[in-house]
A = this chain, B = another copy of it.
């Protein structure tokens, strides 16, 4: 295992030190492991909180700031945060207008956020929860823990953050976040596994000519193994899977996301294929993101996320945002 770290067990704590040093607009509570806006919560504004295991950077801490999250609770690598920590984030985000929890659909995240919401309610903070579950690689049935939350989380954080910033109430902010989730689907492909620092070795082995299709963001194997193929085919596989689940038409917001170790030049090659797949299916791109937004440590690969945004959602997307990882309009 070759990593630019000091000690495997200190990665999260030290990365938070680095974030604090790099971003004066952020406040980092090292004891509680909470990243929030340096200015504190905005009174009268709905707070937007997310969190989950670390290893997905810039998600979530990199999305804290004006127009997006108020606070994030980063757990250990791939381990959901604990209720006390989520409560601390909720408190840091609380402007007395209620707090939205944006939770990726993993058993651990859902349970810990649920416990935190109960604790918050004991402290008279109103909490609404929207669970994100956009990964079409997993069937949503009684035979699974339900679909994983992946790329739609970035979209939901942006849109909910904009709605909250504009003065929308808790129910309204939760509604747009839920709508983003309903209208967004994702699919991921790994070219290499990743290595959890404390595990020291990859979760699976892949041959030089193999890929994993239908991966999540926790280094788990995908739904099935496939052959390494040109970007065109891998992208088509992902787009077809999204399209089969949620037929695409009209105009969409699309994110071509890198898993952490895939260089930008390759992401652009893949995005060219996304764009031509969409064009070939008569779908136009309203907005796009190409880059590393929700990663899986040092995994090479990509995921594609497509959202069928309404005009309202697109307007919220375009609203100013000022965070370490997403910034426009100010």
Contacts and interface: CB of A to CB of B under 8 A. Distances in A.
> Which of A2, A269, A329 gathers the greatest number of chain B CB atoms within 10 Å?
A269
Interface stretch (A126-134, A242-250, A294-302): A294-302
Nearest to A228: B2
A4 B266 contact: yes
Label chain A's interface by main secondary structure. mixed
A262 B295 CA distance: 11
B290 A22 contact: yes
A5 B263 contact: no
Given A21-B271, A192-B2, A230-B7, A15 B330 contact: no
Contact of A191 (B2, B7, B330): B2
A14 B4 CA distance: 31
A39 to B, nearest CB: 17
Nearest to A230: B6
> Which of A22, A230, A264, A273 gathers the greatest number of chain B CB atoms within 10 Å?
A264
14 contacts: A2-B192, A4-B267, A4-B270, A4-B300, A5-B230, A11-B269, A14-B272, A15-B266, A15-B272, A16-B268, A21-B274, A22-B268, A22-B288, A263-B292
Q: Closest 9 interchain pairs by CB? A: A18-B268, A18-B272, A21-B275, A17-B272, A57-B264, A15-B268, A18-B271, A260-B263, A261-B261
